[in-house]
Chains A and B, each alone.
Chain A
Amino acid sequence: MLGRGLKRKLSDYEENMAGLSSAFDSSRSLPYPLKRQLVLNMCLTKLQTYKMLVEPNLHRSVLIANTVRQIQEEMRQESNQQPVNICPGIAPSSHSYTGMESSGISLQLPSGVSQQESNCCDLRSVEDPIENSLLIVSDDDMSSAISSILKDLDFVEDISPPTCLVPTGDDQPKFPENTGLKLEDDRQDLKGAECVFGSFEISNSTSYLKDLAIDDIFEDIDTSMYDSDFCCPPLMPPRSPSLATEEPLKTFPSCNSSSASNIQICRTDLSELDHIMEILVGS
């Protein structure tokens, strides 16, 4: 048993996998397609686990994705050579199904798997417990697993300029922008925006409550005195990349109506802006 001395609670799945990988390592009689399927399942499981992390490890993700690609390529070549699949073979691309569930680790069986199943029964009788733990994965699934984890890693991308060099007479070295400077610019923009809001009493309040629903708090407050004063030009949300991932501020509808709900919507948005400002300014 590996990892002696490490106390951890093994879920059923993990115990299964530990047993399977030991079987892979020690057994010589395990048929190759089964071994391959086991490795593939382990890879896809890992990729799925990484997807749930805030910041997946790029190095590991690439290595695992390459292993999946390698197995995928092998399976494709086999299916090209043999029209009848050896168990547990690939499903041709027409067998697309919903793909992996994000919550569970189990992979759904494609609907049209019966033909392969009948070819599988011989092997199934040989290695029952292992076979039962392995599920069939389609070619599409493998590709989508690889794509999605690598695309996710792109989300971590920087704000630095594009990597292609602008051709010049002699080679110019590239300077990645100091993103600190960029933040500075953004802060200027936001400060400008805040000045526009300066006339709103509520938005100037520093004691806004983040966790509670604004609507609930102000339900019983008489807002009639604000209604007639609420004549402002529609506000344009500041265009800054740092807010790109945040929901852009809504352009406020013309505020001539006396509806209380309009005011509450405005308050929510302004509070969000305040919240963002607080984080950026670091107060």
Chain B
Amino acid sequence: FLGAGGGNDIQWCFSQVKGAVDDDVAEADIISTVEFNHSGELLATGDKGGRVVIFQQEQENKTQSHSRGEYNVYSTFQSHEPEFDYLKSLEIEEKINKIRWLPQKNAAQFLLSTNDKTIKLWKISERDKRPEGYNLKEEDGRYRDPTTVTTLRVPVFRPMDLMVEASPRRIFANAHTYHINSISINSDYETYLSADDLRINLWHLEITDRSFNIVDIKPANMEELTEVITAAEFHPNSCSTFVYSSSKGTIRLCDMRASALCDRHSKLFEEPEDPSNRSFFSEIISSISDVKFSHSGRYMMTRDYLSVKIWDLNMENRPVETYQVHEYLRSKLCSLYENDCIFDKFECCWNGLDIVMTGSYNNFFRMFDRNTKRDVTLEASRENNKPRTVLKPRKVCASGKRKKDEISVDSLDFNKKILHTAWHPKENIIAVATTNNLYIFQDKMN
């Protein structure tokens, strides 16, 4: 496993943990999305209460050369509020489903955040100066008596305590009947897509009152519905290409140049089922919960209930690699179906090209090195919370005699699930979200 010794294997160390220490989790604090910005300096989380919290990495401390900057709270704001749809008598949850950052173009930062129905563009800007020395106003804002003004001066900017302001710049609403599961910004940095269970819409970042529908899989008769869209993403380099995954384990690649409505895919990625693994739950566990392109765009990764698959865009009939996340759960599928865990939507992420990461139960998360074919299971827990403590690899015992330090499948806590993880775009720093805590780990720097 990773860290077994020497070479290029990464040794992961605890760095920080954010969030309440309580075991009693407040519903609103449940983390629902985690995302680094393009430079990695900012780390955003969204929660079930509709809030966004952004952490900023400190500038590296010259004296402590063996650790990278810490992440501290930079901005907190309420992105979405609960709403009530009177026409349908439905409550619209404020839970943030996804956050995606725009690349930085000027001093301000921009991100898109979405709940089930509405996407918002937020501008996060800093204010560290303010004008002082007005002629007609006192410093506290009260107006001066004009007759007391005997000289004129030019107001000057003076430094003030840093203030970070978040303001909503665009609200993209009323375009989704079903629940939004994905947003993805195009490589042209002007448009983005939003996907719900049955439709995908294309937006221009400047235009809020119109969107183009580019995929629609709703059948004329809902009783014929057998498949839903589960995730969608733009290609990182080709601005006319995007993919979307389905509940049947297929991925479709579409080219927007082919037609305005991309109902016919350009490519269909699907692996034939392994007959020896067939069960009543085969279809349910084949449902893809996340799809992510590699940085180059040559590969894409999908996550289904038990595995992570790497696909080469040039090969549609099977993935090039398959990694088992928690194969020991295959014999527990009925129980996991009964308690609904089988519907948990795990996400996955790349470090760029070589290593992929995804979460599991019992606050475990897994990493797979594509080059060495080695994998490791690590745990996010407050027990290892001394900085620079190297994380000890964990092992689950599927059956038979349990060795020391191993955990048996039946002892796993299925309420402690790691659904959201993120990898810094440039460095070996990872953010792992448990139910209501955010863990930051980094590699051991020698």
Contact = CB atoms under 8 A, between A and B. Distances in A.
A198 interface: no
B421 to A, nearest CB: 21
B179 A58 contact: yes
Interface string A143-179: 0001100110111111110010100000111111011
Nearest to B341: A2
Contact of B223 (A21, A63, A151, A157): A151
Contacts of B341: 2
B202 to A, nearest CB: 8
A133 B412 CA distance: 28
B212 A22 contact: no
Contacts, number: 145
Given A3-B415, A25-B333, A173-B212, A62 B280 contact: no
Given A4-B413, A157-B177, A245-B87, A58 B283 contact: no
Interface stretch (A64-72, A86-94, A211-219): A64-72
Interface string B324-352: 00000001111111110101000000000
A146 to B, nearest CB: 7
Contacts of B87: 159, 242, 245
A17 B338 CA distance: 7
Contacts of A104: none
Contact of B197 (A59, A71, A179): A59
B247 A173 contact: no
B201 interface: yes
Nearest to B201: A176
Contacts of A153: 222, 225
B327 to A, nearest CB: 14
A165 B415 contact: no
A165 B283 contact: no
A62 B335 contact: no
Contact of A66 (B197, B223, B226, B415): B226
A91 to B, nearest CB: 21
A163 B177 contact: no
Given A163-B216, A171-B261, A3 B284 contact: no
B251 interface: no
Contacts of A17: 338
Given A25-B332, A173-B212, A174-B213, A18 B280 contact: no
B415 A178 contact: no
Interface in B80-97: 86-91
Nearest to B333: A25
B343 A175 contact: no
A54 B415 contact: no
A179 B225 CA distance: 25
Interface residues of B, number: 57
B1 interface: no
A33 to B, nearest CB: 12
Contacts of B218: 163
A70 B283 contact: yes
A17 B334 CA distance: 10
A160 B177 contact: yes
Contacts of A193: none
Contacts of B445: none
Nearest to B88: A156
Contacts of A69: 226
B230 interface: yes
A5 B338 contact: no
B410 interface: yes
A218 B340 CA distance: 53
Nearest to B198: A58
B222 A151 contact: yes
B175 interface: yes
Nearest to B116: A55
B414 interface: yes
A156 B178 contact: yes
Contact of B86 (A64, A67, A165, A279): A279
A54 B90 contact: yes
A173 B213 contact: yes
Interface string B191-213: 00000011001000000011111
B408 to A, nearest CB: 12
B275 to A, nearest CB: 15
Contact of A63 (B198, B260, B287): B287
A235 B432 CA distance: 63
Contacts of B413: 3-5
A156 B197 CA distance: 12
A6 interface: yes
Contact of B280 (A65, A71, A147, A245): A71
A165 B338 contact: no
Nearest to B338: A21
B415 to A, nearest CB: 5
A58 B228 contact: yes
Nearest to A26: B331
Interface in B373-418: 410-416
A191 interface: no
Interface string B179-199: 100000000000000000110
A70 B284 CA distance: 12
Contacts of A178: 174-175, 209-210
A21 B284 contact: no
Interface string A26-47: 0000000001101100100000
Contact of A175 (B197, B198, B210, B414): B210
B90 A156 contact: yes
Interface of A: 1-6, 17-18, 21-22, 24-25, 35-36, 38-39, 42, 54-55, 58-60, 62-67, 69-71, 146-147, 150-151, 153-160, 163, 165, 171-176, 178-180, 242, 245, 279-280
Given A18-B339, A173-B213, A174-B216, 15 more contacts: A1-B410, A2-B412, A3-B413, A4-B413, A4-B415, A54-B90, A59-B343, A62-B226, A63-B284, A65-B225, A160-B177, A173-B212, A174-B212, A175-B211, A176-B201
Q: Which 5 A-B pairs have the closest CB atoms?
A: A158-B177, A154-B222, A24-B334, A171-B260, A21-B338
21 contacts: A5-B415, A6-B415, A22-B334, A25-B334, A25-B335, A36-B280, A39-B280, A39-B334, A42-B337, A58-B197, A63-B284, A63-B343, A67-B283, A146-B223, A150-B225, A153-B225, A154-B222, A156-B88, A173-B214, A176-B211, A178-B174
